[in-house]
Chain A
C-alpha cells in the first residue's frame, strides 16, 4: 500500500527554536498533502492544504507566518514551526493523496511528530 514517511517522530527543543517537519510520499506522487494538528482528546484538525508548486491553503485561524509550508516536489512537503513556543507543543501529522481523480481517494498518513517546546 501507499507509504508516507514523516520525520522526525519526536522533537524536544527550547522556546524560540524553529522546527522543520518533513512529509514524504515514498511510492506515489502526491499533488496534495495535508497538515493536521491534534490537541489532547480532540479530533485531527486540518491546518493547511499543501499543493505542489503553489502556495498552501491555510484553514481559518492558522497563522501562515507561524506555520510555513513548502511543497517543492510531488513527493515532499515540509512544515516549519517558526520561533516555536510552549503553546505550539502538539502532535502534528501529515497525509498525502495520490495524484488522481478526486473524491474517492483516501488519504495516506505519516506516523506523526510529537513536538514539545520547553
Chain B
C-alpha cells in the first residue's frame, strides 16, 4: 500500500509570517506529485503538478519543491494572508497507474489575524 504522509497535520500561523509543510512519499513509486488547496465549502483547487527531481514551481506567494530521490516535497507560503487558510493536500501518481493519484491526509493551515 502506497503511503503519502503529510506533516504537520495542523498548523497555526500569524498573518504575515511565512510557513512551509512537508509531503513524504516512497521514492521508488513515483510518477508525479500534486499539490491541491482545499478551502472550506469549496472544491479542491490544483496548485502544482511536478514530475522531475529538483522541480520548483511558483504561483504567487506559494511555491513548491520536489526531491524524488529522497521522497519529499515542500510547500512554502510567503507572507501568509487570511485567504491562505485551507487544507493543503499532497497526492502521488504511482508509475504503474498514472491515471490514479493517492492523497495524503492534508495539512490544515489556519492564518491568525
Contact = CB atoms under 8 A, between A and B. Distances in A.
A54 interface: no
A112 B103 CA distance: 16
If over half of B's interface residues share one DSSP class (helix, strand or loop), that class is named, otherwise mixed; here it is: loop
B104 interface: yes
B51 A43 contact: no
Interface of A: 4, 6, 32, 34, 36, 41-46, 49, 93, 95, 97, 102-112
A46 B89 CA distance: 14
A46 B100 contact: yes
B43 A106 contact: no
Given A46-B100, A110-B43, A41 B51 contact: no
Given A43-B106, A104-B32, A109-B36, 5 more contacts: A34-B100, A36-B103, A93-B43, A102-B98, A106-B34
A103 B42 contact: no
A106 B103 contact: no
Contacts of B105: 41-43
A49 B32 CA distance: 18
A46 B102 CA distance: 7
Q: Which of B41, B44, B89, B106 has the most CB of A within 10 A?
A: B44
Interface of B: 4, 31-32, 34, 36, 41-46, 49, 51, 89, 93, 98-106
Contact of B103 (A6, A41, A43, A105): A43
Contacts of A97: 99
23 contacts: A6-B43, A36-B103, A42-B105, A43-B4, A43-B105, A46-B101, A49-B100, A93-B44, A102-B98, A102-B99, A103-B51, A103-B93, A104-B32, A104-B49, A106-B36, A107-B46, A107-B101, A108-B43, A108-B46, A109-B43, A109-B45, A110-B43, A111-B43
A105 B42 contact: no
A44 B103 contact: yes
